[in-house]
Amino acid sequence: MNRPHTPANLPAPTICMGEGWHCLHQYYKVDQAALMLLSDSQRAEGCEYVAQILNASGDDAPARQQTSVVSGHRADLGLMIMDPDPLRIDRVTQELRNSAIGSALKPTYSFVSITEISEYVPSVEQYANRLKREGTPEADPAFEAKLNAYKQRLPTMNKQRLYPDFPPFPVITFYPMNKARHPLANWYTEPFSARSELMAEHATSGIKFAGRVSQLITASTGFDDWEWGVTLWGRAPEHIKEIVYGMRFDRASAKYAEFGPFYLSYVSSPEDALDHLKI
């Protein structure tokens, strides 16, 4: 008899992430013509309801939500939402669409991704090898100190990669990116050792921005049109420009990175954002 192959040890099918979170970046423009058709009370009621949705916390609300006001013509309002359950994220966008001001909020861009621990995050053993390669011999007391510090830091860093807390920084930039698959610069035909070395160089240039820029890389291969979403939060706007410019000279970016559109926005409470947008 021809039976489907269903090994008994597979977990139950699910849309929720076993490890890590789903992530949605969603951008809206205010449609002035639609807004003019709403009464003052519809606008007030809609704003109150939307603010309540975007401020919600607790079991039914997404694990993380952030609202921002977007610069430039591509969008007015930015949302970043994360949760293990993609439908809890989607519900927020449906609630907004179905609200009294829903007709005035036109989605203009969205990006669907998930959190991950990159294959280039060094394990404790790989980190030890890197220290040796970079000139700290095992006998040096600094070796043990650095290795211990990394051992202690790694679980917290991995937790932040999978279940991030949003940093208390007011400026956000979001953009999607790929690693090139060009005949003369194909990331995917490079051996792991070469990619890993380039990513180590990349991380070293990023670490210089500690305290000024906080980064979250979410993976989107198979989920959206680009391979990763880059979310950068800045303590001040100039740090964002400085890091993105600086990284263009890292070999990993100079040779292999391709970028999509950039969305620069300013973190805001939902109430302040709706007020700012004059809804």
Contact with ligand 76R (CB under 6 A) among 51, 198, 243, 279: 243
Q: Does 198 bind ligand 76R (CB under 6 A)?
A: no
Whole-number Å distance between alpha carbons of 60 and 172: 26
Q: In whole angstroms, give the CA distance from residue 153 to residue 147.
A: 10
Query: Considering only residues 71, 103, 196, 215, which one is a binding residue for ligand 76R as defined by CB under 6 A?
Result: 215
Instruction: Give the residue, chosen from 82, 114, 213, 274, that forms a contact with ligand 76R under the rule CB under 6 A.
Output: 213
Taking CB under 6 A as the criterion, which residues in 170-189 touch ligand 76R?
A: 177
Stretch that binds ligand 76R, among 84-92, 100-108, 228-236, 260-268 (CB under 6 A): 228-236
Strands 171-179 vs 257-259: parallel, antiparallel or unpaired: antiparallel
* Residue with tokens 């053993």, as numbered in its chain: 125
Structure token pair of residue 113: 């991704």
| Candidates 33-41, 47-55, 144-152, 198-206; binding stretch for ligand 76R (CB under 6 A) | 198-206
Q: Which of 66, 220, 253, 268 binds ligand 76R (CB under 6 A)?
A: 253
- Nearest approach in angstroms of CB 200 to ligand 76R is 8
Spatial contact of 79 and 66, defined as CB atoms under 8 Å apart:
yes
Q: Give strand pairing partners of 175.
A: 230
Among the residue ranges 9-17, 22-30, 41-49, 225-233, the one whose residues contact ligand 76R (CB under 6 A): 225-233
Shorter beta-carbon distance to ligand 76R: residue 30 or 177: 177
Q: Which residue is nearest to ligand 76R (CB)?
A: 206
Q: Which of 100, 104, 257, 273 binds ligand 76R (CB under 6 A)?
A: 257
CA 95 to centroid of chain Cα atoms:
22
Q: Total residues contacting ligand 76R (rule CB under 6 A)? A: 23
| Contacting residue, 54, 75, 172, 232, with ligand 76R by CB under 6 A | 232
Site for ligand 76R contains 218 (CB under 6 A): no
Q: Provide, rounded to whole angstroms, the least separation between the CB of residue 82 and ligand 76R.
A: 17
CB of 214 to ligand 76R, least distance (A): 6
Active-site entry in 109, 127, 175, 263 = 175
Known active-site residue 188: no
Find how far residue 43's CA is from the centre of its chain: 31
Strand partners, 232: 173, 215
Interaction mask 117-156, ligand 76R, x per CB under 6 A: -xxxx-----------------------------------
CA distance 20 to 220: 13
**Active-site residue set:** 175
Q: Which residues bind ligand 76R (CB under 6 A)?
A: 118-121, 177, 199, 202-203, 206-207, 209, 213, 215, 217, 228, 230, 232, 243-244, 247-248, 253, 257
